[in-house]
Amino acid sequence: MSRVGKNPVVVPNGVTINLTEQQISAKGKLGELNLPLNSADISVTQEDNQIWVKPKNDSKRARALWGTTRANIANLVTGVSEGFTKKLEITGVGYRAQVQGKKLVLQLGFSHDVEMEIPEGLNVVAEKPTLVAISGADKQVVGQFAANARGWRGPEPYKGKGVRYEGEYILRKEGKKK
């Protein structure tokens, strides 16, 4: 039995849910998000301000989708009501970031600047030249954009230089000995 799936998703005030057989959509102060549903294996019902997810049968696929669907619906509701934020720390001499219009410009020690288009629905702010905050309603888009930015120059284990998530611990290595 799914430990995640058996709990209901509580819908806060200010969020409206539109539930059909094929998809669920949530609308809140931060926008509107849709999620397609697998109606063959999962049944989704709304009672008052709670959304319940239940498997239709006892197949392995239905049990696998049960908790996943519930977690995706919870992310949908949280995204339109509160939003998600990822922060990136940039460490290294001469490494910095800035936002220019709809582009995030990273200087990461290459011979050129790295320019990344900011997707629609994301808010990217360079709080300091070495701290970037990425926020938006869709958790997947926020995480993917942060991962793409980190992928240009991930943190290295000897000096710790590179782009890392805020609070991420880098296991440091000792380096050469004389």
Same domain, 91 and 76: no
Range of the domain at 52: 9-81
pLDDT of residue 155: 93
User: How many domains is the chain partitioned into structurally?
Assistant: 2
pLDDT of residue 93: 93
Same domain, 41 and 62: yes
Residue 41 has pLDDT above 80, yes or no: yes
Residue 1 has pLDDT above 80, yes or no: no
Asked whether residue 3 is domain-assigned, the answer is: no
Residue 110, domain CATH: 3.90.930.12
Alpha-carbon distance 64 to 60, whole Å?
6
Same domain, 61 and 26: yes
pTM for the structure as a whole: 0.89
pLDDT of residue 135: 95
pLDDT of residue 4: 83
Same domain, 73 and 97: no
Asked whether residue 117 is domain-assigned, the answer is: yes
| Number of neighbours of residue 32 by Cβ within 10 angstroms | 13
Q: How far is CA 51 from CA 12, 94, 162, in A?
A: 11, 49, 42
Are 138 and 33 in contact by the 8 Å Cβ rule? The answer is yes
